[in-house]
Amino acid sequence: MTQRLVFAGDSITDAGRDRADDGSYGDGYVALLADELPAQGADVVVVNRGVSGDRAVDLEGRWEADVRAQRPDVLTVYVGVNDMWRRFDSDDPTSAQEFEATYRRLLAATDADRVILVEPYFVPVHADQTEWPADLDEKRAVVARLAEETGAVLVPLQEAFSRAAAEHGVAAIAPDGVHPTPAGSRLIADAWLAAYTGVEAGAR
């Protein structure tokens, strides 16, 4: 049976897709998965509903039309870094409590059979960003806690990106600390595939 895989999130999911074309996946991790899953024999339809700049509250505003209306069998939610970023570039913070409340509402309004939550990551690039990870750590903890509470599968990314940055340099995986290079997108896709494989194994 064909599975509908819906990906909801921010610019890392959007990855420059043509939002007027449902067959456009951008050039990030979703595009890699859309190519590789069918090649591996998976009977799937991939739907990219990432929108650059989205915070959790923005995702909530389009949840019915962009996510639930797509009737996902497997839903991937990847959001959080803009909830951190806007605090520092626009003086528009989102507290961990606000982030969690919104994220809980998203998950409560989810009909998917299976849910995958992706941990947001950030690798500091500039000296004035030393305080940023502490803010995102609170959001990362929310995502991990909600995955555990709801039975969703967690895709951990922070450790993988921190390790890759230490080994190869930040520019090789995410030059601004967030938006991935092709190598960074490969890291995300591989982590997602590991989670999805586990989901599928558990479903059999």
The token duo for 92 is: 């528009």
* CB count in 10 Å sphere of residue 130: 9
Distance of CA 198 to the CA centre of its chain: 17
Residues with catalytic roles: 11, 176, 179
Phi, psi dihedrals of residue 132, rounded to the nearest 5°: -65, -45
In angstroms, what is the C-alpha Rg of the chain?
16
What SS3 state is found at 167?
helix
For residue 80 the two structure tokens come to 């959080």
SS3 state at 24: coil
Dihedral angle sign, alpha carbons of residues 159, 162, 166, 168:
positive
